Amino acid sequence: MTKIYADCADALFPGGHFVVGVKDMMRKKKPYLLHERLAQILEAIGLQHVGNVVLRHYPTTMFINTYQKIHKDAPPPPLFQSIIVFKKPG
């Protein structure tokens, strides 16, 4: 993904925006904050972080509705999706 994102960033005009929407996931019964990892990658390739938007994931999926019934001791799954906005300096 880093190479794909780097190629996209290279195609941007200076001052252009790069927007990524992502839903965090579960990994080993723990929330995995994928949006944080993607933000680190995008900053490392030279894009400037502009802001985030956090949206409630709707509609809920069958997985979200049944997860707590199956895994009683696990934390609730992520119910939000993140939209992260970057800008190419210039």
d(CA 70, CA 90): 50
Tell me the residue range of the domain where 83 lies: 2-87
pLDDT at residue 19 is higher than 90:
yes
Task: Note the pLDDT of residue 63.
Answer: 58
Measured at the CA of 21, the angle between CA 16 and CA 22, to 5 degrees, comes to 140
pTM here is: 0.73
What are the start-end ranges of the E strands in the chain? 17-23, 25-27, 30-32, 48-56, 80-87
Higher pLDDT, 1 or 6: 6
Say how many domains are in the chain: 1
Q: What is the pLDDT of residue 83?
A: 92
Over residues 20-73, the pLDDT tens digits come to 998 877 777 777 788 889 999 999 999 999 999 988 766 555 555 555 566 566
